[in-house]
Structure 1
Amino acid sequence: MNATRSITMRAASYRQFGPPEVVRIVDIPKPSPRPDEVLIRVHASTLSAADRRSRRRSVPRGLQAFAALALGVFGPRTPVLGMDAAGVVEAVGAEVTAFVPGDEVVAMLGARFGGHAEYVTVPQDGAITAKPRNMGFEEAVTLVFGGLTAHGFLARAAIRTGDTVLINGASGAVGTAAVQLAKNLGAYVTAVCSGANRDLVTSLGADRVIDYATEDFAAGTRTYDVIMDCVGNAPFERVETCLNPGGALLLVITDLKGLLRAPGRSRNSGKLVTAGNLRLRYTGEDLAFLVGLAESGRYRAVIDRSYALSDIVRAHRFVDSGRKRGNVIVRVAGSAPGQSLTKRSSATTEPGTGAKAP
């Protein structure tokens, strides 16, 4: 039994697209690092809206064919979800010089997935860096998916001190990161979320909060230098008049029409319209930047709930509910059947017509 345990690992795996119940805990082969790879024993990962969309193969309008090619036509191409990981280096390949066994690290796995398992491999020149010294694994992993996504999009806008930035979907994993990062850049931040999340986004630095249930931010007279849409309900034609001349619309979530029209919108309007995350390149340097902010007290972890790996179906059900705010954590190392969730804060519905903020 010990020999079997040494070459296999527990993982949350799914073999067909569908509801939370398609995910099951199984034993699969434990990976071995290639010469340039680091093997991480995973302590924590997040379960994001991106994991939910991948599990259901549910994507914005027009992107179904692309999703099938990326995720799998007849079944999941990658059976273990989890786009990020925080853990301890277990072993390194022969060519690895940047890390040694015992290092505590965080890593972005991206479309490779794999974080919802006891072990995962990452190239040493990938998006991996030492975790914040002032954070545990559960807190540290919140920097990765939400933090890197927000950082990548905001970097396209070249925000300067005093710029006005609106974050639509400010209470999700990407939104809570974007509020903090925009404030660190010196922006005046307006957060769009539910009224129940007003205190949360204000505590993260938002200067002004719009409750989407009582006010349509796009119908007012205020204008902004940057609008970041983390929900998918703020296309250019809806918010064009809300953007200042030379402003930027950052579409974290959009449909095929939004993706295809973005370059032309930019050329014809004089305003930057950038869509989708295919052009995002996650790097260790970007992740180290976020770690530096966390260690200096300028970036805070936002955790809604924490689930043991054995409770992965319950975790998926909660993310499916649309009430997630900030991050949902999957505890991997040391989790055992029957461990209950830890609830960090209340949850609320994200803005939009059926769309959830990542």
Structure 2
Amino acid sequence: MEFSQLLIRKHTRWQRSIVFLTITLLLISSVYLMVGEIFINPFSELTQLQQQLVAQLRLPRLLAAIAIGASLALSGAVLQVLLGNVLAEPGVLGISGGASVMMVLVMFFFPLLATPFGFMLAAIAGALLFTLILVSMAKAMRLTTTRLLLVGVALGILAGAVVTWAFYFSDDLSLRVLMYWLMGSIGGASWYHHVVTLAVLPVMLWLCFKGPVLDKLMMGELHAKQLGLDVEGLRWKLILAVSILVGGSVALGGIIGFVGLVVPHLLRMALGSENRFLLPISALAGASLLVFADIIARTALDSAELPLGVVTTTIGAPIFIWMLVKNHDSR
């Protein structure tokens, strides 16, 4: 009886967290549409300029922040289960860098494909390649947390080197576009770019319903197989899903780090590791965090706009260092 009451209490806490984060996201999104160089009062009649400002600039940018934040947080939560590593995250492991490399290659060698959809396909291909490398090495070499992070950092450095070469040989216009992706920004998001959002949305929904399967996978491959789970088939599906989400995020807003690391890890510490609840809550929390970070990026300076990736890194890097120290002490 005590166990069933404990289970009910735990599920109630998860459900309250989902409601709380949904309300939080709605409130932050409302603030997002109001604040900026021109403050918009939602209780007064909007002028034509204010209507266009909301419809053509702030709303598509808000939706981009929500899509990217949810995608990165979900990707991080899935990668942490897939690799058995609480420090796994697309940016730290170099997967986002792989997506950016493929976009650079498309920009320079296949300019006719330089469209939002073409960039998305290229970014997915790059993210898929780097994810396959990491998962294969982690499985074949039984990499420890430290070694896996070192491999990911090395892949990120390699991707950074390719982008640096692209900087060297680029003209002024290409240079500005590259800087946009490298630092992470959704300042140029428009309705035209949301073809990417339409592509990643079904993948996010699919992952949110895969929580019970991921719970089995967390028990170990042997136990998962005994429970009737097709581990190899699931692994390939998860790799493809993560690649689509990370590739879509990079194509939409560039390299934005630490969201996929900080959000699921802190939620696991606070609420537990039950993935059927953790995955949708991670998506809501990741979206809320990125919308909040972009409010800071837009309003922190009077005369300029901060890159979104810089804001998330400033928030996430200290937490990542704390996680590394905590993980080391627990060994």
Structure 2-normalised TM-score? 0.30
| Higher-RCO chain (CA-CA 8 Å, sequence separation at least 6) | 2
